[in-house]
C-alpha cells in the first residue's frame, strides 16, 4: 500500500448517461476539482460519444441521448482540458454489461444475451466483439496517448442464457466465469494492441465470486487493474478479508471505487455529504487493515441515474408494502393454511383472516384509510401470535399510529436467487450464524389470495451489507430472528436508514448500481459539496486535519461552486416539496376535503378556505421555481435532461396541487352541505 494518501491518484468519475453537462460548465468543474487535489477525471460516455459509421445511431452524431452532447471537437477539447490542468484524462467505454445504450437499438438487438433486457451483451457472437472493438477504436482515436482506459465489465448478470452461450457452456470444462473472462481477455488484448503500454481498468464485482484458480488460469492479474467498488457507509461496509488476500496475490496494483453521489437510493435529489464521507472513512479504514494490497488510487464515482427505490410508503390500492422475513429458516408449506392478522393501531382494532380471504377482507375493513401506510411482517418461522417477537412488532407499531400492520404466522415457499420456486432441506437452510443480512420481500394483494409464494420479488435492507448488530454478536446469535426484527423495526421508524432494493437476482442485489433506463438522481452541481468533503477526508491523514475540520457543510463558497444557482434551487424544491406533500396528506385535507366529501358535495366553506389559500401559495411558488430551475438547468445541461428532471420531480407535484386548488376553488363558493348527495 502507498504509505501516503497524498501519493494516491484521486480520480473523479463523471457519468454521462444522465444529464451530461455542457462543455463550458465542465471546464469550470475541472478547474475547481483540480484545486481540491484531484489528479484525474474518468469520463463514462455511453450515448454522448460521437460514434460514426455503423455506430452512429448509438451516439451523439444521431443525438441518441437527446441532449446534443458531445461533438467530436467537444470530446477532444474536454480530454485536452483535463490534461492541460495537469490531471489524467481516462475514458470509460462499457464492453459487456450496462450496454443498454447500444443494445436498445434494433441494429444491435441480436447481440443481447437476453432479449427482454438490453443490459448485457452476448460474449459468444462474433458481432459482439466487433461492436466492442469498434467503440474502443473510436474512443482511442481521439486519445492516442492515453495512459489508462476503463472497459467497465461490471454487473454482467444475464450469463449463459442465449442459445450460443448455452452451446458454448456445453463444451468441456467451460463455465460462466470462463465465458466472462474469455470476453474480457479479448477486449483487453484489443485495447493493448492499439496502445501497447496502456493500463486497462475494470470494475471488479464479477471477479469477486470467482475462484483464484480460474482467475490465475486467465492471467487476469497481468491483463487489467481492478477497481474494487463499494459504496456503503462505515456501519454497513461489507468487503471481506479473504477477498483482499486473494487480490494481493493476483494483482500488483488496484484502485478502489468510492461514491460522492448517486449511491443513496433512487429519486434522491440531494447528496448528503455525511453519508458519502462515511463511505470514504470506511475505505480508509479498510486500506489500513489491508496494507499488503498496493492501492494506487481512488476513483470517486458520481452516478447520474438510478433504479427504482422502494420506500415504506406505497399505493394502498394495491396493498403494496414491505414485509420482512429472516433467512435463517426456509419453510415449504401450504400457505392456504396460514392466518393473516390485520392490526389497526390507531383504531385499536385487529382482525384475523384466512390467507385466501385476506385481500378481500383487508380491502373491505371498516373505515379503511387508504392514505395510511401498510406494513407486512412475516416471521420466517412457525410461531404463535403471543410470541415475544410478535409482541415487539405490536409495541413498535403502537408508536407509529398512521399505519396498519399485516402480521403473518410464518413465511412459506420462497424463491431462490434465480427466481425459481424452491423448498429447502434442513441442510440447505441458512442457519443462525451464517446469514449477515435481512431479506425484505415485496408482495401485492394478488399473492395474498393464492397458494403461490408470498413474495415474488426480492428486496434487501442495508444495501446488502452486514447488519450493524450482526458484527457485535456471537455466531450462535448472529442474524437470529430477534436481530431481523430489531433491524426491521429500525427501518420502520427511520425509513431512510435502510433503503430497499428491487432485484431479480442475488448478484444484482449484492452489487447493485444504476442503469441506463433509470430516472435522474442527484445532479452534479448539488453533489459538489459532497465531492469536496470526500476529498478532504482523503487528504486528512496527510495534512493532519482533525475530522471535524475536514468536513464541509452541504454548501460551498460561490467561487468553488459551479452551478450554485441550480443547487440552491433544488434545495428550495426539497423544502417546497415537503410543504406540498404535507398539505396534500394533511389531516386538514383528509378531514374537510377528502374524496368522499368532494364526491357528495358535503363541505364547509370556512374550512375549505384555509386549504385553498395555502394550496394557492404553494402552487405559486412551485410555478416560479419551475421557470427559474428550467432556465438554470438549460444553462448547464441539455434540453432533454432538463425536461426529464422538471417533469419527473416538479411537474407531478404541480399537477397534484393544481387539482387541490381547483377543487378548493369550486367548493369554497358553495354553501355548506346539508346532507351527503
Phi, psi of 116 (to 5 degrees): -75, -15
The CATH number of 5-304+516-559, from 3.30.160.60, 3.40.50.2000, 3.20.20.80, 3.40.50.2300, is 3.20.20.80
Return the DSSP state at 21: B
Which residue did the predictor score with more confidence, 413 or 360? 360
Residue pair 162/198 in contact (Cβ under 8 Å)? The answer is no
SS3 570: helix
Q: How confident is the model at residue 511 (pLDDT cuts 50, 70, 90)?
A: very low
> Rounded distance, CA 82 to CA 32, Å?
12
Phi, psi of 403 (to 5 degrees): -160, 160
- Render pLDDT for 460-470 as a digit per residue (tens, 0 to 9): 333 333 434 44
Q: How confident is the model at residue 343 (pLDDT cuts 50, 70, 90)?
A: low
Lowest mean pLDDT, pick from 176-190, 484-498, 660-674 = 484-498
Q: What is the pLDDT of residue 370?
A: 55
Residue pair 123/182 in contact (Cβ under 8 Å)? The answer is yes
Burial (CB count within 10 angstroms: exposed 0-12, middle 13-18, buried 19+), residue 539: middle
Provide the grid cell at 565. Answer: 444557482
3-state secondary structure 289-314: HCCCCCEEEEEEEECCEECCEECCCC
> Rounded distance, CA 595 to CA 254, Å?
59
**Which positions are catalytic?**
155
- CA proximity to 395, closest of 284, 300, 492: 492
Residue pair 31/559 in contact (Cβ under 8 Å)? The answer is no
SS3 522: coil
Give the count of beta carbons closer than 10 Å to the beta carbon of residue 295: 20
pTM of the model as a whole: 0.71
Q: What is the pLDDT of residue 225?
A: 98
Q: How confident is the model at residue 481 (pLDDT cuts 50, 70, 90)?
A: very low
Q: What is the pLDDT of residue 394?
A: 55
Would you say the C-alpha torsion 178, 184, 190, 196 has a positive or negative sign? negative
> Rounded distance, CA 24 to CA 45, Å?
17
Residue range 613-617: mean pLDDT, rounded: 95
- Domain boundaries defined on the chain: 5-304+516-559, 316-508, 566-668
CA distances from 30 to 9, 49, 546 (A): 15, 19, 27
> Rounded distance, CA 233 to CA 283, Å?
9
Q: What is the pLDDT of residue 346?
A: 65
Query: Which pairing describes strands 519-520 and 88-92: parallel, antiparallel, or unpaired?
Result: unpaired
- CA proximity to 155, closest of 506, 573, 667, 650: 506
* Contacts (Cβ under 8 Å, ≥6 apart) of 528: 29, 32, 556, 560, 561, 562, 563, 567
- Render pLDDT for 223-268 as a digit per residue (tens, 0 to 9): 999 999 999 888 778 788 889 999 999 999 999 999 999 887 667 8
Provide the grid cell at 210. Answer: 470467482
Strand partners, 500: 310
Provide the CB-side half-sphere exposure for 624 (13 A, CA).
8
pLDDT above 70 as % of the chain: 66
> Rounded distance, CA 102 to CA 131, Å?
9
> Rounded distance, CA 523 to CA 632, Å?
12
Q: What is the pLDDT of residue 545?
A: 53
Residue range 258-285: mean pLDDT, rounded: 88
Radius of gyration for the alpha carbons in the chain, expressed in angstroms and rounded: 27
Amino acid at each position: 500500500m502507498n504509505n501516503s494518501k497524498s501519493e494516491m491518484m484521486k480520480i473523479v468519475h463523471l457519468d454521462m448517461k444522465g444529464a451530461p453537462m455542457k462543455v463550458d460548465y465542465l471546464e469550470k468543474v475541472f478547474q475547481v476539482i483540480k484545486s481540491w487535489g484531484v489528479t484525474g477525471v474518468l469520463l463514462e460516455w455511453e450515448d454522448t460519444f460521437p460514434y460514426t459509421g455503423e455506430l452512429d445511431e448509438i451516439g451523439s452524431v444521431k443525438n441518441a441521448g437527446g441532449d446534443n452532447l458531445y461533438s467530436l471537437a467537444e470530446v477532444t477539447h474536454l480530454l485536452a482540458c483535463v490534461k492541460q490542468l495537469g490531471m489524467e484524462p481516462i475514458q470509460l467505454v462499457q464492453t459487456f454489461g450496462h450496454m443498454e445504450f447500444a443494445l436498445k437499438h434494433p441494429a444491435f438487438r441480436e447481440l443481447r444475451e437476453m432479449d427482454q433486457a438490453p443490459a448485457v451483451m452476448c460474449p459468444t457472437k462474433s458481432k459482439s466483439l466487433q461492436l466492442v472493438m469498434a467503440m474502443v477504436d473510436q474512443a482511442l482515436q481521439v486519445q492516442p496517448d492515453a495512459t489508462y482506459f476503463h472497459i467497465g465489465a461490471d454487473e454482467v448478470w444475464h450469463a449463459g442464457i442465449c442459445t450460443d452461450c448455452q452451446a458454448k457452456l456445453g463444451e468441456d470444462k467451460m463455465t460462466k466465469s470462463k465465458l466472462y473472462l474469455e470476453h474480457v481477455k479479448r477486449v483487453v488484448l484489443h485495447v493493448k494492441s492499439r496502445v501497447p503500454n496502456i493500463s486497462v481498468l475494470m470494475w471488479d464485482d464479477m471477479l469477486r465470486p470467482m475462484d483464484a484458480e480460474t482467475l490465475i488460469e486467465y492471467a487476469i492479474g497481468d491483463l487489467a487493474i481492478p477497481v474494487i467498488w463499494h459504496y456503503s457507509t462505515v456501519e454497513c461496509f461489507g468487503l471481506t478479508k479473504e477477498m483482499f488476500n486473494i487480490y494481493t496475490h493476483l494483482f500488483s496494483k488496484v484502485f478502489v471505487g468510492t461514491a460522492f453521489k448517486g449511491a443513496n437510493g433512487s429519486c434522491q435529489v440531494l447528496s448528503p455529504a455525511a453519508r458519502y464521507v462515511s463511505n470514504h472513512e470506511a475505505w480508509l479504514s479498510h486500506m489500513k487493515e489491508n496494507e499488503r494490497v498496493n492501492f494506487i488510487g481512488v476513483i470517486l464515482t458520481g452516478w447520474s441515474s438510478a433504479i427504482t427505490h422502494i420506500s415504506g410508503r406505497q399505493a394502498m390500492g394495491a396493498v403494496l408494502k414491505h414485509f420482512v422475513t429472516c433467512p435463517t429458516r426456509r419453510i415449504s408449506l401450504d400457505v392456504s393454511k396460514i392466518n393473516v392478522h390485520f392490526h389497526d393501531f390507531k383504531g385499536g382494532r385487529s382482525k384475523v383472516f384466512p390467507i385466501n380471504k385476506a385481500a378481500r377482507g383487508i380491502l373491505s375493513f371498516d373505515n379503511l384509510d387508504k392514505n395510511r401506510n401498510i406494513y407486512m411482517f412475516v416471521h420466517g418461522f412457525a410461531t404463535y401470535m403471543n410470541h415475544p417477537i410478535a409482541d415487539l412488532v405490536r409495541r413498535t407499531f403502537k408508536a407509529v399510529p398512521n399505519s396498519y400492520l399485516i402480521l403473518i404466522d410464518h413465511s412459506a415457499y420462497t424463491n431462490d436467487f434465480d427466481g425459481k420456486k424452491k423448498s429447502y432441506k434442513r441442510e440447505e437452510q441458512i442457519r443462525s450464524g451464517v446469514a449477515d443480512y435481512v431479506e425484505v420481500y415485496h408482495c401485492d394483494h394478488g399473492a395474498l389470495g393464492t397458494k403461490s409464494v408470498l413474495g415474488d420479488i426480492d428486496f434487501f435492507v442495508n444495501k446488502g451489507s452486514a447488519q450493524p448488530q450482526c458484527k457485535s454478536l456471537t455466531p450462535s446469535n448472529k442474524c437470529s430472528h430477534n436481530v431481523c426484527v430489531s433491524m426491521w423495526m429500525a427501518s420502520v421508524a427511520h425509513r431512510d436508514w435502510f433503503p430497499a432494493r428491487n432485484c431479480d437476482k442475488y448478484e444484482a442485489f449484492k452489487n447493485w448500481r444504476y442503469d441506463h433506463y433509470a430516472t435522474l438522481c442527484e445532479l452534479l452541481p448539488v453533489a459538489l459539496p459532497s465531492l469536496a468533503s470526500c476529498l478532504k477526508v482523503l487528504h486528512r491523514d496527510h495534512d493532519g486535519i482533525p475530522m471535524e475540520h475536514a468536513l464541509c457543510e452541504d454548501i460551498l463558497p460561490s467561487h468553488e461552486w459551479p452551478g450554485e444557482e441550480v443547487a440552491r434551487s433544488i434545495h428550495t424544491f426539497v423544502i417546497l416539496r415537503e410543504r406540498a406533500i404535507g398539505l396534500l396528506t394533511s389531516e386538514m385535507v383528509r378531514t374537510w376535503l377528502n374524496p368522499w366529501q368532494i364526491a357528495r358535495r358535503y363541505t364547509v366553506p370556512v374550512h375549505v378556505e384555509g386549504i385553498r389559500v395555502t394550496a394557492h401559495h404553494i402552487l405559486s411558488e412551485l410555478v416560479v421555481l419551475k421557470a427559474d430551475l428550467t432556465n438554470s438547468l438549460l444553462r448547464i445541461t441539455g434540453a432533454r435532461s432538463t425536461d426529464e428532471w422538471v417533469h419527473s420531480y416538479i411537474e407531478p407535484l404541480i399537477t397534484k396541487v393544481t387539482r387541490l386548488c381547483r377543487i378548493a376553488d369550486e367548493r369554497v363558493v358553495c354553501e355548506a352541505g346539508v346532507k351527503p348527495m
